[in-house]
Structures are given as C-alpha cells and as structure tokens.
C-alpha cells in the first residue's frame, strides 16, 4: 500500500464497517462516554470475545458503575458478575485495586494523560490509548492485534510488535484517523480481514492491499 492511498482506504473502511456492530468497548464508549466504564470494559475485553465482554460489563455495571460503589462489592460477587471473561479472578482483583487507587489518588476520576494511566494496574499502552481516544477524545492511536496485523498485511507498516506499529502509524497516518482507527480495524478484523483465511473476495480495499503474510483466503 502506498502512503498516498491511506486516506482513501480509511474513508472506505469507515463507511464499510458502519454496517457491522461496533466492538464491545466501543459500544460502551458510544453509550456512556464514561471514562471509568470504558476503562473497566477495556480490561474485561482482554483475552475475551466481544459477546462475553458485553454481557459481563452489563452484569457488572448493574452492580456498580463508579469506583466508590465498586469497592463496596465483595470480590467474589464481582467474579460471578464478570465470569466467564478470561482471567476473571485476577481481573476482579484488578478492578478493586484500580477503584481504590482512583479514589485515593485521583478523586475517583480516571486520569486523562498517558503517563498516569500507565501507572494503573493492568493498564498497558493499548488500554491507555483507548481511554485517551474513546473517553477523552484526545488524538492518539490504540494498537491491538487487529490494528497491528492489518496495517502490516496492507504493507502500510512493516513492524514486529504493536508498540512499533503505534510509532510508525503516528508518523504516517493522518491525524484525522487516529482516534477511530482502532474501532474501524477491530470491526474490519473481526468480520472480514480475519487472522486466518481472510475473506478477500468481499474486501472493499483489496486493490490497495499488499496481502502480506496471507497464505489462504476466501
């Protein structure tokens, strides 16, 4: 993919992916714009399918949707609410730990800067960037496995890991797409540009794609 093509590709994919359901975390962001709920739903989504994330967040937030109320809930009850998300025992403890830190150090408010977000337990670069973009609408790029895989498949970047991808995208991706590239490519990656055997026959941007690393497709 040539750098000059990226605007056309992103605009086409923004329109194309609008026909599909948004990822679970994006749905929470669209429905609430609540930084705490976005943060917790993002943590629950790690190593977990979207359908499970969505039902688990709904059960959990029916019990509590802010740090103060969350700390009133026994860890076992949180575990029951979020099961069967991946690593639900550890995530329940992390939710309580984060809630305590937010109350003690940030007056119950999720930080809106990258450095402080990374200090929270369980929060890595991707989660921090999702909070900045989805909760606070600040220009940044959240790179997960879908964004990393697809942009390398296109040939738009040539990187070894998500952190390198983030750096390269910040150099070459027009800032108008920074905030929603994660939502667009996660949706695209879940429904069409699959990790194994992508559905290239229905891809709207196939003629721009270098199709790097694709062994089998439909």
Per-residue pLDDT reduced to its tens digit, 46-95: 989 999 999 999 999 999 999 999 999 999 999 999 999 999 999 999 99
Q: Exposed, middle or buried, 8 (CB in 10 Å: 0-12/13-18/19+)?
A: exposed
Q: What is the mean pLDDT of residues 140-157?
A: 97
Query: CA 156, CA 118: separation in Å to the nearest integer?
Result: 28
Mean pLDDT of 132-149: 96
Total-model pTM: 0.92
Closest CA relative to residue 108, chosen from 57, 58, 60, 70: 70
Residue 12 is classified by DSSP as H
Q: How many Å apart are CA 143 and CA 167, to the nearest integer?
A: 10
* pLDDT score recorded for residue 47: 86
Is residue 144 annotated as a catalytic residue, yes or no? yes
Catalytic residue among 50, 54, 91, 144: 144
Q: Which two tokens stand for residue 99?
A: 């809630």
pLDDT bracket for residue 207 (50, 70, 90): very high
Averaged pLDDT score across all residues of the chain: 96
Name which of 139, 147, 115 is nearest 128 in CA terms: 115
Q: Kindly state the tokens that stand for 138.
A: 């600040």
Query: Per the residue annotation, which of 126, 171, 180, 212 is the catalytic one?
Result: 126
Query: Helices (H), strands (E): how many in the chain?
Result: 12, 0
Q: Report the percent of the chain where pLDDT is more than 70.
A: 100
């Amino acid at each position: 993919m040539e750098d000059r093509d990226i605007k056309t590709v992103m605009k086409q994919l923004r329109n194309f992916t609008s026909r599909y359901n948004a990822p679970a975390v994006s749905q929470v962001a669209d429905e609430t714009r609540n930084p705490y709920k976005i943060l917790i739903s993002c943590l629950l989504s790690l190593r977990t399918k979207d359908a499970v994330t969505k039902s688990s967040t709904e059960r959990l937030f029916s019990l509590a949707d802010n740090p103060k109320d969350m700390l009133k809930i026994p860890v076992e009850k949180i575990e029951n609410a979020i099961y069967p998300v991946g690593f639900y025992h550890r995530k329940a403890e992390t939710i309580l730990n984060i809630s305590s830190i937010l109350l003690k150090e940030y007056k119950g408010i999720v930080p809106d800067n990258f450095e402080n977000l990374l200090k929270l337990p369980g929060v890595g670069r991707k989660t921090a960037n999702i909070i900045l973009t989805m909760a606070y609408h600040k220009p940044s790029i959240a790179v997960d496995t879908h964004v990393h895989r697809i942009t390398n498949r296109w040939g738009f970047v040539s990187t070894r890991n998500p952190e390198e991808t983030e750096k390269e995208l910040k150099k070459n991706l027009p800032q108008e797409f920074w905030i929603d590239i994660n939502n667009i490519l996660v949706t695209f990656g879940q429904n069409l540009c699959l990790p194994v055997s992508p559905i290239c026959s229905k891809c709207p941007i196939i003629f721009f794609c270098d199709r790097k690393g694709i062994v089998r497709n439909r």
